[in-house]
Amino acid sequence: MNVEKAIVGRYSCRAYLDRPVPRELIEKLLDTARWSPSGANIQPWQVAVVEGKTRARLSEALIAAFDSGARPAPDYRYYPGSWVEPYKRRRFQCGMALYQALGIERKDKTRRLEVWKENYRFFGAPVALFFFIDRNMAQGAWLDMGMFIQSLMLAAREQELESCPQASVADYPAVVRQVLGLDDDKLLLCGLALGYPDPDHPVNNYRTDREPVESFTTWFE
């Protein structure tokens, strides 16, 4: 798979086959992604790979936190406090595309909540990765992390795997750290569901739009 095809064809996969991903393949993806660029070669990425019984236990803990009504307490704020255009429109369209693919009406709050909880089940993916960064790192290292995660997702496509980056699982970082037995000195950025995609599931057969180049580009000559 060439780079252009890997980038353009990538999507957030939300349904996976019941098929394990070999450990050596996960190691291969990480071995590829580690060559991502970082300022002054600091390589700030730290990864937790969660599978099997630990994955099931973590999923149950996240769902329990959500069902209890516990307010999300992420290590950082991902979204703005208030939405303005054009971001408000794009966010709305993204959500509606998902619900329409699943045949869920906007007023059906019960089913929409169940769909949301699939985040905490990692959409059925056999592997969940969590990305951490030292709390003393500045914004530049966050850019490095983004490039590392993108490299990992593209490397996965080369191996016929798909993925879904998940800010949602970072809503309860204390739960993640407790289940994994991690200290509080690392900030949880996000998660990533990883596995072999279910091509027949309707949730994997819609795509979000992208703005044309001229809408976000200014040329200076």
Total-model pTM: 0.95
- Considering the domain boundaries, does residue 88 fall inside one? yes
pLDDT tens string for the chain (221 positions)? 899 999 999 999 999 999 999 999 999 999 999 999 999 999 999 999 999 999 999 999 999 999 999 999 999 999 999 999 999 999 999 999 999 999 998 889 899 999 999 999 999 999 999 999 999 999 999 999 999 999 999 999 999 999 999 999 999 999 999 999 999 999 999 999 999 999 999 999 999 999 999 999 999 99
- Considering the domain boundaries, does residue 3 fall inside one? no
Q: Provide the CATH number for the domain around residue 110.
A: 3.40.109.10
CA distance linking residue 164 with residue 208, whole number of Å: 14
- Considering the domain boundaries, does residue 17 fall inside one? yes
Question: How many domains is the chain built from?
Answer: 1
HSE-CB at 117 with a 13 A cutoff on CA atoms is: 17
- Considering the domain boundaries, does residue 219 fall inside one? no
- Considering the domain boundaries, does residue 31 fall inside one? yes
Percent helix, strand, coil in the chain, to 5, is 50, 15, 40
Domain boundaries, position 120: 8-206
Q: How far is CA 9 from CA 12, 153, 159, 192, 209, in A?
A: 10, 11, 14, 17, 12
- Considering the domain boundaries, does residue 212 fall inside one? no
- Considering the domain boundaries, does residue 12 fall inside one? yes
- Considering the domain boundaries, does residue 30 fall inside one? yes
